[in-house]
Structure 1
Amino acid sequence: MIDLPQVAYGERRSRLVGKLLLLVSTIVLAGCGCSKSEQQRTTSSRSGSVPKSAESDVTSRESLKRSTVDPSLEKLAEPTPSELEDRVGELLSEARYAEAEKLNRSLLLLSPDSPTLLFLAARIAHGKGETDEAISYLRAIPPNHPEAGLPALGQLADWLQEVGRLEEAEATYVEMIRRFGDLAPVHRRLAVLLNSQGRRVEATRHVEALIRLGDVTEKELLSMTTLSVPYHDGEPGALMSGSADDFNGETLTLKELARAKRLFVQDELVEAEKLIKKLRMAFPDSASVAAFEGRVYEARQSNEDLWKWSASLPQDIEKEAEYWTAIGQWSLRLKRSAAAIRAFGEAVQIDPTDRVAYLRMAEALAMEGELEAAERVLQRKESLDEAWQMAMNVGLNRETRRGDLKRLVEPTRKARPKLGGSLLANDLGI
């Protein structure tokens, strides 16, 4: 016999279980609020295929993974400081100065004392036409730096010449010789610089150094035959064109002294005097300028100008051969032969190639009755005349050129006895 209460309880339980099953199936079909696409991904994953949206998720996860890679590994791809310096050099060679400067400045912030970066900064500034700034960068490089000191000083001297700061350029070249010894390129640059200013005697000291070093050119040797005339191995037209009126206090440099001497030997005394007066005003402390000024006044036989000149001479004037030649000629013209002989003697001690000084000394000796001494001095002057003429003719006739060079050795040796004839012959290739 069935217990009715129990049956009723069982039926209620069955209905309750049915409702629960219905609810669960509904939730499953609804995906617990998930989209149909997610259900498809689940199904697809079971079947082994990956939908496009899933690929995007994978890519995102890979990017995130890469972002957490050890930073030290990433640094392997960054350029080194050396590579960045090379890049600055490349930009510089392409005249892309703004880009080169920007990159180089950022590197200088990290290494403000780097000679390489300072040199690059100087080149950039020079490329932009900012030479004064370029010079300041080069001055920041220690001269005693084992690698950068010498090239920095050399470039500094060249750029100082470029902007007309000749005294600073000369001092820089002298410092290079003092620090690094007898360097032929530096002696040659000094010779060119001094010759360009008409300072022939001083230039010859550096040509003599080139002879000792065995690195001298034929033109440099021939330039030693007469030091009292201007010499310019480069652009001769630059010395001959224009007049004294072409220059003012803003553009005048000591190189115009060579121009003034050129005018003088061409007997253009008016132009020479105009230019030397401007030079004296611009460079009152220059002994070489003051010495040549006296020679111009004596050529004009202007006693008034000579008296004024002699009362306002700079220091070291007595080291200038042209000063003594001017004094000697002035004294000779005033019939003061003894004083003239002493002055000419000082002149040829400084410049043993001054033919005018020897000629006038012979005249003064003759006035004193020293005829034999006068004759010896005239012979010396004639030897110098011969050397000068041969130097002018060398290369004009190729058939006699070698013979002219051989004949030139002896008078040149007499003019510069301390060099020795054999040494000169070796340098001439004979």
Structure 2
Amino acid sequence: MPIANRVLQSGLIPALQHRVSASWQLVKVEASFLCLSLVSARPIQLGISESKVSRTYLVLNLFGNCLACCLLLGCSGSGGEADSTPSAARSEPAKPPANNVAAPGIHYREAVKSVRIGDFPNAQRSLREHLLANPSDTKAMELAGDIASRQGDTPQAIQWYRDAVEQTPQPGYALLDKLAKNLMATANAYESVEILKQNISAHPDLERPRYDLAGLVTVLGLNHDAVKPLQWLIQHNLRDEESLIVLANPDRVQPDPEFCRKLLDRAPEDLRPHYALAKLDAEKQDWSAVSKRLPAVLKRHPDFLPAWALQGRALVSLAIADPSDSSRRKDLVEWATNKPAALETLPEYWTAAGMWSNHTGDHTAAVRAFTEASRLHQSNHGPTLSQLQASLRQIGREDESNRVAKRFDQIAGLNDAVKTFLERNSKSQIAALRVAYQMVDLGRIWEAEAWTSLAKSLPEDPVGTIDQAHLAIRARLRPDSPWQTEASLVASSIDISDMPLVTWDADVRNARTIANRMGESPVRFAEQAKQRGLLHTVSLAPEAEKEGHWIYQSTGGGAAVLDFDLNGWPDVAIANLDGAPMQSNSSPNRVFRNIDGQFFDATSASGYADTGFAQGITSGDYNNDGFPDLFDANIGRNRLYRNNGDGTFSDVTEEMNLVGNEWTTSAVIADMDGDGNADLFEVNYCGGKAPYETPCRSDATGKLASCPPLKFEASADRIWKNNGTGQFKNVSRDWMQPTSIGRGLGIIAGQLDETPGLDLFIANDMSVNHLWSTSSVASDDSTAAATRLTDLGTVRGLAMSGQSNSQASMGMAAGDPDGDGDLDFFLTHFAEEHNTYYEQVAPGLWEDRTHAVGLYEPSLDQLGFGTTWTDFNSDGAMELLVTNGHVSDTGRTDIGYEMPPQLFTRLESGRWQEQPNGSLGDYFEREHLGRALVTLDANLDGRTDVLITHLYEPVALLINESEVASESIGLRFQATSGHRDAIGTTVEVQSAGDKRTLQLTAGDGYMGSNERRLSFALPAEANNAEIVVQWPSGLSQSFSELEAGRDYLLTEGIAQPIPMNKHVQ
């Protein structure tokens, strides 16, 4: 519309709908970092699963933005008094007048004067006369916009400002700023984003629009649009804690849902805020919700690339989760056909392409896609690096895979360092400095310098060399230094020129289906601890139940199964922790002897008298004499009890040279170096005195609450070599070189990867898990091979979740639930995290498939501890059992304190389904503070039973009363050419065309030790089974015609199995 006509038809008329109070001129709302929090009901959130007191999210006031304030407060009068001279921004450098600005005439001067005294009717009359004579005067257009804004006519103000911008060769900062603010007042957030970008481009030396842009795009979920502005601010010494945290990992910043819903309410025609809400759905792995929310967005805004990319990721995830649903694949192909060409400029597109290529088995195309994504992410995106290194390994490019894996490990270290900094209330100097050092390793020197500068200002955990550290890092910077060193861009060196692109309509590999099931039979347990005499409650200090828990009281409750008297019936040892940590004043751990299915307290008679502050218990024959021994993990001095073979134990801790006072949670006795002698591995948690001197409290209840473990320093794990002459030697520094120290809670030992030798998988709390792979290398004197344990957790896909989050790992299960002949793992985690299912997708390579198999959502409101995969009903398929219970009473209504256990069965599709608790037995209908979970056949009926410990509640002995679908065979093992416990023995069972693989592992997860027994079902039509045993020594041995319905002892090198107990029904 011509300017003259719009002057006549606009709001520039004498009649004002309302007057703006003169007091408004006293309110100068600045575009500051805190302003945005006025808009949203909560500040921007970092999705970094953090505090164990309130594990929702860390909430930080990241950015403020006057533009967003306009959404709630309106922008009327946004120009303020200074707007009487349009575009005279205080922070804008002076510019020569533009050609289309008329010399101030009498009418314009009168209009300005009238605005200053608040006489808007006269201002409008004068300005109308001026614009009729000077229709191209952009200065007058801007003033007209100011008047419209003062009158509350925001749409008219926007039109005036837009006309002024379009007709001004170099729009001033203030003009663009007012346009952006008024756009926000009408909920045109995305157009406001574009104006902010234009303002930065037009005025590259100004800081204020960069703050505004960073604040706005983060609440909209467009996080990566905040990176460049924040980098500029850092490079110009305009740093702050919030900016640094966002730059450390932009993907951890969550959009503000309430802000986005307000945009939808105010401007329902713009559907793009649904993208931000869809990102929150994606964070919860609710891909179905994502796929339903975004199609309308794409239809209304076909050029909105972020929504296209997220929709593609959702469709890929849904198609992978249910390959049998052809409609999922059809939707994906349709999306790929219609996607804009420009979508390939987004890393998220390439990530989806890589995931689909992997799923279809085209790992070369996956490498191409993940490399493209990593390049766009500047090799800083953990999940993409993880998938890239795995895909490179799949196609045999080991060297490149290792380089990418190293980068991924560094990114994981950065994320953990930032989490630790936040858990320590952003006040710890040493925590901030550790982030800086991680940045140095990553080649991100600008951020390293900024973090070091921040560290110098922090009041806690001082570092004496902080000034020297800062100077050393600063010395590496010059004004022209790149944001990131070229050597750190590891994806750039990967040659993908001859690699194919993704094939969206490729044939899908066969769906993972369940191994042959031998019938349907319900699982059911009867809790019989009391009637069988197993009477024990894991005790805490008397005041704990009333006053709440210290962190050291929230763990514990270990249990071990062993046949210490060799009568053929499994006995049980259980922990106590009712004293003080680092002291020997707790009630003694207890051992119960099993005679014909009844348990008798043998603690006093046996001499098992550990009064340390107990955590886990493990069992193993450390001296190879045929009698299982006990090792107690304590907070303080650990204890080794030798089984004397006469029903008694002797404390040989000092005799065996086992020293130290650590917080040990779990342990394993196994022959790690293959010399025939059982070594000892201790899993340690938090170090120092602080965990026992630093209380935390629940905001809701005021009670003591378990502190987040990242508040405390980690304690390194230890390994003790059994020298075979009656003593252990600490070889931790010789055998292990950890890339990071974890806070361990669980352990599994066995032949875990594709290389020979026992391996160790450690579940760490809020830090990366460790997979210690054993190898032999030439020793220094070249006379003998030396043992090395190398942490391959990151390389093999077990260190973190698929989203590259280091979770609060606790319980662990190992088994072959999908029947493909290799070991998979299941780990339990904290409430509002998800438990994690790691499927072995190639030899020695695991992938987080939790969501794909249906185990994601059922665990979100649970806090899991002990867990197991076991075929409880002898139908040939494993069930998954998890015990739950919180560490603190947080007073929340959505997350419980006591929690019910869960049992899952695997469907033919490969997905898991939670069983209703009412069908499983009375115990499952109640809530508990579950801790350790161990398995045994307590009554020798061939069915696997379960023992679960709790806090404040007697242990539960769940006798398996399931109606079995078929008979089973139980196997026990005795090695002769190595350590007799035979840990790592693999068994392949064939019967009636059915084939299954089992492995004898140790450690067994969270603070427990299972009965050393493998059990498997035989098809009903089979009378016996053919068994192939691969012993740890490498010997392969076959056993034929084992009849169902009893247990056998298999001895290495002896052809005939020894029949043991017949299953009592």
TM-score, normalised with respect to structure 1: 0.68
- For the residues of structure 2 that align with 1:270 and 1:294, how far apart are their CA atoms? 12
Q: 1:222 aligns with which of 234, 240, 245?
A: 245
Amino acid at match of 1:216: R
Deviation at 1:290, TM superposition (A): 1.0
CA spacing shift, 1:192–1:416, aligned 2, 3 Å: farther
Percent of residue pairs bearing the same amino acid type: 21
1:349–1:171: structure 2 CA closer, same or farther, 3 Å change rule? same
CA distance in 1, matches of 2:168, 2:397: 60
CA deviations over 1:185-214 (Å, ceiling 9, x no partner) = 122223333333333233212211112222
Gaps of 5+ in 1: 1-78
> Are 1:353 and 2:380 counterparts?
yes
Q: How far, CA to CA, are the matches of 1:327 and 1:399 in structure 2? A: 38
Following the alignment from structure 2 to structure 1, what is the Cα–Cα distance between the partners of residues 382 and 208?
A: 30
| Structure 1 residue 179 displacement after superposition | 2.8
In the alignment, is residue 275 of structure 1 matched against residue 293 of structure 2? yes
Report 1:18-417 matches (<5 A).
Answer: 82=109, 85-91=112-118, 101-102=124-125, 104-105=127-128, 108=131, 117-141=140-164, 149-232=172-255, 237-238=258-259, 250-301=268-319, 302-351=328-377, 352-398=379-425, 401-413=428-440, 417=444
Distance of 1:117 and 1:313 partners within structure 2: 44
Q: Give me the whole-angstrom Cα distance separating, in 2, the residues matched to 1:238 and 1:272.
A: 19
- Partner Cα separation in structure 2 for residue 201 and residue 80 of structure 1: 47
Give the whole-Å Cα distance in 2 for the aligned partners of 1:273 and 1:114: 49
1:201-248 CA deviation, whole Å, 9 max, x = no partner?
A: 33212211112222233212211222334444xx56546x79xxx889
Shift of 1:321: 0.6
Distance 1:139 1:279 in 2: 26
Counterpart CA distance in 2 for 1:414 and 1:273 is: 39
Q: 1:195 touches 1:230 (CA, 8 Å); kept in 2?
A: yes
Which residue of structure 2 aligns with residue 34 of structure 1?
Answer: none
Query: Which range moves more in the overlay, 404-413 or 345-354?
Result: 404-413
Q: Deviations over 1:279-324 (max 9, x none)?
A: 2122112222211111111221243222111111113211101000
TM-aligned CA distance change 1:276 to 1:388, over 3 Å: farther
Change (3 A) 1:318 1:358: same
Query: Whose strand fraction is larger, Structure 1's or Structure 2's?
Result: 2
Q: Which residue is equivalent to 2:516? A: none
Aligned residue type for 2:182: W
Counterpart contact for 1:88–1:103, Cα < 8 Å: no
Cα 1:89–1:268 change in 2 (3 A) is: farther
- CA displacement at 1:265 relative to structure 2: 0.8
- 1:379 deviates by 3.3
User: 1:346 Cα shift?
Assistant: 0.9
Q: 1:426 to 1:337 in 2, by over 3 A?
A: same
Counterpart AA for 1:404? A
Q: Hey, what's the Cα distance between the residues in 2 that align with 1:389 and 1:309?
A: 36
Distance in 2, matches of 1:98 and 1:416, equals 61
Q: Shift of residue 145 of structure 1? A: 6.8
Q: Match of 2:566? A: none
Structure 2 gaps of 5+ residues are 1-105, 320-327, 457-469, 471-1065
- Structure 1 residue identity aligned to 2:368: R
Q: Following TM superposition, by how much is the alpha carbon of 1:121 offset from its aligned partner in structure 2, in angstroms?
A: 2.2
SS at match of 1:172: helix
Cα distance change on mapping 1:427 and 1:278 into 2, 3 Å:
farther
2:118 alignment partner, SS class: helix
Task: Decide whether aligned partners of structure 1 residues 248 and 399 sit closer, same or farther in structure 2, where only a CA change above 3 A counts.
Answer: closer
Q: Which amino acid aligns with 2:156?
A: E
Q: For the structure 1 residues 392 and 424, does the alpha-carbon distance in structure 2 shift closer, same or farther, using more than 3 Å as the test?
A: closer
The superposition leaves residues 38-57 of structure 1 with CA deviations (integer Å, 9 ceiling, x where unpaired) of xxxxxxxxxxxxxxxxxxxx
Q: 1:306 and 1:260, CA in 2 relative to 1: closer, same or farther beyond 3 A?
A: same
User: How many aligned positions are there?
Assistant: 342
Q: How big is the shift at 1:416?
A: 6.4
Q: 1:257 to 1:371 in 2, by over 3 A?
A: same
Contact 1:230 1:261 in 2 (8 A): no
Measure, in 2, the Cα distance between the counterparts of 1:210 and 1:414: 22
Query: Which deviates further from its counterpart, 157-166 or 303-312?
Result: 157-166
Structure with the bigger RCO (C-alpha within 8 Å, sep 6+) is 2
CA shift, 1:347, in A, is 0.7
Distance 1:282 1:390, change over 3 A: farther
Q: Kindly tell me: are residues 414 and 342 of structure 1, through their superposed partners in 2, closer, same or farther at Cα, counting changes over 3 Å?
A: farther
Q: The residue matched to 1:141 in structure 2 has which SS?
A: helix
Contact 2:414 2:438 in 1 (8 A): yes
Q: Secondary structure at the match of 1:353?
A: coil
Moved more, 223-232 or 290-299: 223-232
Q: Which has the larger radius of gyration?
A: 1
> CA 1:179–1:421 in structure 2 vs 1: closer, same or farther (change >3 Å)?
same
Q: Distance in 2 between matches of 1:389 and 1:237?
A: 29
Q: Is the 8 A contact 2:432 2:454 kept in 1?
A: no
Pair 1:421 & 2:439 matched: no
Report the RMSD for the aligned CA atoms in angstroms.
3.5
Aligned to 2:499: none
In structure 2, relative to structure 1, the CA distance for the partners of 1:363 and 1:289 (3 Å cut) is: same
Shift in alpha-carbon separation, 1:390–1:282, aligned structure 2, 3 A: farther
Q: Evaluate the alpha carbon distance shift between residue 247 and residue 309 of structure 1 in structure 2; reply closer, same or farther with a 3 A threshold.
A: farther
Q: Deviations over 1:98-141 (max 9, x none)?
A: 67545654565576666554333212322444322112212343
In structure 2, how many angstroms separate the alpha carbons of the residues matched to 1:368 and 1:328? 14
Q: CA deviation at 1:142?
A: 5.8
Q: CA 1:219/1:399 → structure 2, altered by over 3 Å: closer, same or farther?
A: closer
Contact 2:305–2:343 (Cα < 8 Å) also in 1: yes
The letter of the residue matching 1:157 is A
Q: Secondary structure at the match of 1:374?
A: helix
Q: 2:438 is aligned with what amino acid?
A: P
Indicate if the aligned counterparts of 1:321 and 1:347 stay in contact, CA closer than 8 A. Answer: yes
TM-score between the two structures when normalised by the length of structure 2: 0.29
Q: Is the 1:122–1:135 Cα contact (8 Å) retained in structure 2?
A: yes
2:821 aligned partner:
none
Distance in 1, Cα, partners of 2:426 & 2:381: 30
